[in-house]
Amino acid sequence: MENKENLIESLLERAEKYGKTRIDLWKLKFTDKLSTTVSSVLSHVLFLVLGIAVIVSLSISCALWIGELTGKIYYGFLAVAGFYAFVLLVAFLFRKQIKQSFKNSVIHHLHN
């Protein structure tokens, strides 16, 4: 009888250790996925900010250059604004595909 009790007690101890190990493993996997995702998002944000700075600088330069060519500075700014309006229209037309692409990217980072 005592042998069965020891066996059951040993089995319960092992089950408890197994449960704790599984929880620790889950925490480590979650931490890994979270850190990978956060670092990826932060690096994308950094490139986005730097890209916006470059685009703004180039836009102002192009607007001034086009304005100088046409003789009226505001024509250059209107031309650049028209270009961005066209880009916005194209992005609006393809918004579902763009959204799906971002969604797939996030899922990919979370599951790999």
Q: Look up the pTM and report it.
A: 0.62
The answer to whether 88 and 76 are in contact (CB under 8 A) is: no
Residue 69: predicted pLDDT: 95
pLDDT tier for residue 8 given thresholds of 50, 70 and 90: confident
Would you kindly state where each structural domain of the chain is located, as residue ranges? 2-111
Q: Quote the CA–CA distance of 42 and 8 in Å, as a whole number.
A: 50
Residue 1 pLDDT > 70: no
